[in-house]
Amino acid sequence: MEIEKTGLEGCLILKPRIFGDERGYFFESYNESVFNNLTGIQTKFVQDNQSFSTYGVLRGLHAQAGEHAQAKLVRVLQGEVLDVAVDARPDSPTFGQHVAVRLSSENNLQLFIPRGFLHGFVVLSETAIFAYKCDNYYNAASEKGVLYSSPELNIDWIVDAEKVSLSEKDLILPTFAEVYKK
């Protein structure tokens, strides 16, 4: 596995080592010992989640607050998404900045998102199956989020706004500036 640092501390792109031949391919998508040794991050994932979505579906930007905060290791099993992580740690030098990475079943890249980040993705292919590991259990009362189109974040989601499909919950989220007044 190769690790690539992003411009946001602790947010990492993971590239697995793929073994392929005329029959197909094999790769180890996660190994706790290798992950911990290569990243220096000691984490224990306790929950796996998976979603299926169609083109233009945008899920985010979400996080869990306080003691229920979650680090995530995300990847795409089928299709392609633009995955976005926003640094929402008020004391971070990159507070309010984001990283956007194309994750697909073709490139097999994964993104590690530390606790304290907002996370979201938009589907770029006809359909996508998105999977992620979490290091803390989901807690509905601790869920928070910000509007994907918050102007101060200046995220290029690639998909035209009129083709973006949001949940009712995500449509009414406050802006980043409303939630994170500094």
Active site residues: 62, 132
Can you tell me the distance from the alpha carbon of 74 to that of 12, in angstroms, rounded to the nearest whole number?
A: 11
Can you tell me the distance from the alpha carbon of 60 to that of 63, in angstroms, rounded to the nearest whole number?
A: 9
* Residue type at 153 in one-letter notation: L
Q: Counting Cβ atoms within 10 Å, is residue 92 exposed (0-12), middle (13-18) or buried (19+)?
A: middle
- Which of 179, 154, 143, 182 lies closest to 60 in space, CA to CA? 143
Do residues 125 and 80 make contact, with C-beta atoms less than 8 angstroms apart?
A: yes
Instruction: Please tell me the number of Cα atoms within 13 Å of 138 on its side-chain side.
Output: 7
